[in-house]
Amino acid sequence: MDSINEVTLETVKKATSTLSGHVIRTPIQTCDTLDLLSGRRLFFKCENFQKSGSFKFRGACHALSRLVSANGTTPHRLQVVAGSTGNFACGLAMAAELFGVTAHVVMPNNSPECKRQTALSYGADLTLCEPTAQDIAQTVKQVQDVTGAVFISGGNNPDVISGHGTMGLELLRQVPNLDAVVMPVGTGGMLSGVSVAIKSICPEIRIYGAEPEVANDAAMSLSKGERCTFARFPQSIADGLNGNIGPVPWTYIQSYVDNIFTVSEDEIKNATRLVWEKMKLVVEPSGAVGVAAVLSDSFKAQAGGCRNVAVILSGGNVDLQVDKLSEFL
């Protein structure tokens, strides 16, 4: 089975079939309070309920399933490696355990402890490094040289992106008459995959990304018309969005995404608290960035005609120790 070279509606549909029985068809939740605060009807896609705690399991599982099918050897002889700020490491580790594959994950040394422990709990071999794109890439290469592991990119692999795109097809079936979809953007795999899936079927639906002001590489890229990156990862409370947008997702984002909204750290904290308090859902700050965006003045000004809006709650892997919870208060 050849790897996917591009992301299309057909590759996303095939990913849906491949992932059947492996991923959770996550539910849609609503909240009257957030509807009132936003001035529109909101539909929350709860990927915080997904296996491994975030949407990342979709792409990791799809890519690994295809790799195992194409490898022509017994899965226990196969090794894979990825660099991740956290959630893709968790998703890949869980998928590797599912398929009987050895997973190596490289994470920044400032990644949340809960995400490190989650990856370890699924049997992954964890290596920590400095929080820069260069250090992560170099450490991944070192692991490859020692183990012979196959590299799976969490942000630039079309198999991964197609897996993430399955959320878009689910949304279209779950919520009729959508006007817009809002989701966080970090490396861009979710935003690119979902935008391809939805725009290919319903081009009138607006697709919006949301990211922290301090980690605004995607917004800058869309504004300038060229991919922008940070040499050293920013430090947002939305740790899952501190990575750079990838070149492969960027090709789809610039074609399919209508706008990317940025939100402040205080707006992210407020949105996280609102989801916890009003929806009774555990969501991590990265997963609440889309909520912060739809509550922002800029969204209200620019998306006034959007009455029915889906918001993807991308993950729920959050440290629950008292000292960590104080960051949100």
Q: What is the pLDDT of residues 129-169, one digit of tens each?
A: 998 889 999 999 999 999 999 999 998 999 999 999 999 99
Spatial CA neighbour of 43 closest among 51, 57, 32: 32
Could you tell me which residues are beta bridge partners of residue 207?
181
Q: What is the average pLDDT across 285-314? A: 96
pLDDT at res. 215: 94
Q: Is the sign of the CA dihedral 201, 301, 236, 36 positive or negative?
A: negative
- Give the residue-averaged pLDDT of 246-265: 97
Beta-strand runs (E) in the chain: 28-29, 41-46, 79-83, 102-108, 125-129, 150-151, 180-184, 206-212, 259-263, 308-313
The confidence score (pLDDT) of residue 258 equals 97
**Taking 60 as the threshold, does the pLDDT of residue 289 lie above it?**
yes
Spatial CA neighbour of 1 closest among 13, 16, 18: 18
* List of residues 6+ apart from 72 with CB closer than 8 A: none
Whether pLDDT at 74 is above 70 = no
Asked if 31 and 218 touch (Cβ cutoff 8 Å), the reply is no
- 279 pLDDT tier (thresholds 50, 70, 90): very high
pLDDT at residue 185, as a whole number = 97
At residue 37, the pLDDT reads: 97
Q: φ, ψ for residue 310 (rounded to 5)?
A: -90, 140
pLDDT at 121: 96
User: Span 7-30, mean pLDDT?
Assistant: 98
